[in-house]
Amino acid sequence: MTLTRAEFDQACKAYISKYCSAQSFDATPRDDALLRRYPAGWSWTEHPTVPGLGYLSRLVSIPSHSSHDNGGQPAEPEVEEPEDEAAAAVPHERLVCRQYVVFSPSFQVPALYFSLHRGNGTALSLDDIVTSSLLMRSALPQTARTTFALETTDSPFAMLSQGDHPTSNTPCWYLHPCRTAEVVDEIMKETGYGDADRPLRWLETWFMVLGNVVDFRVE
């Protein structure tokens, strides 16, 4: 089960109307669990010249290290000598994260692209991204790490890779969408859905699945 490009556009705009508009935010209490499952703050961005290449985007500030994994205990940062003092982590530092939900024409599903920088504009290394609060540490078992990818033993595709944003062509990291359709389809068969609301339900389920890997909450 996948989405067409038109269904992706429809789902994104319906999601914004339901979860991200001022009216919907005031009408629905956004507790911590709901924010993780259906994150707010997204807006729709159209390509400046080419129609049909729009995507969701948001800009958030997140803690440099997670305090939600490891049984509720703060994650222990890896100790290493920084090569550049300007790139060294600062205690209680806030990171700038640009997040994008784009349409993957190859897999016909949404895909999450993001960039992560320190306050001074320095891009984070993969090691720093893994120990940041963006990714759930418990969701990254048995991964082989290089300077540009996280690879799992059970997939020919890297779980996390570097790549250009498919619409803006800016450098990003992205979670590979290879098994997205399979996982979302299994959940939707269990919960049921109607044809009329299928695109929005598909995107809601996708966010729910991604929420097990990416911490979409903003502290």
pLDDT top residue among 21 and 135: 135
pLDDT of res. 183: 92
Evaluate whether 200 touches 11 at the Cβ level (below 8 Å): yes
Distance CA 49, CA 77 (A): 43
Write the pLDDT tens digit of every residue in 18-51. 999 865 555 455 566 677 789 999 999 998 888 8
pLDDT of res. 78: 39
pLDDT of res. 91: 58
Distance CA 4, CA 199 (A): 9
Going by pLDDT thresholds of 50, 70 and 90, the confidence category of residue 75 is: very low
Distance CA 49, CA 39 (A): 29
pLDDT of res. 50: 85
Full-model pTM: 0.83
Domains, the chain: 5-69+91-210 (3.30.1460)
pLDDT top residue among 197 and 10: 10
Span 61-76, average pLDDT: 59
Evaluate whether 132 touches 64 at the Cβ level (below 8 Å): yes
Residues above pLDDT 70, as percent of the chain: 78
% helix, strand, coil for the chain, step of 5: 30, 25, 45
pLDDT of res. 72: 38
Write the pLDDT tens digit of every residue in 172-202. 999 999 889 999 999 988 876 667 789 999 9
pLDDT of res. 15: 96
> Given its phi and psi angles, is residue 52 left (phi above 0), alpha (psi -120 to 50 degrees) or beta?
left
Question: Which residues make Cβ contacts (< 8 Å) with residue 72, sequence separation at least 6?
Answer: none
Three-point CA angle 145, 149, 152, nearest 5°: 65
Evaluate whether 179 touches 185 at the Cβ level (below 8 Å): no
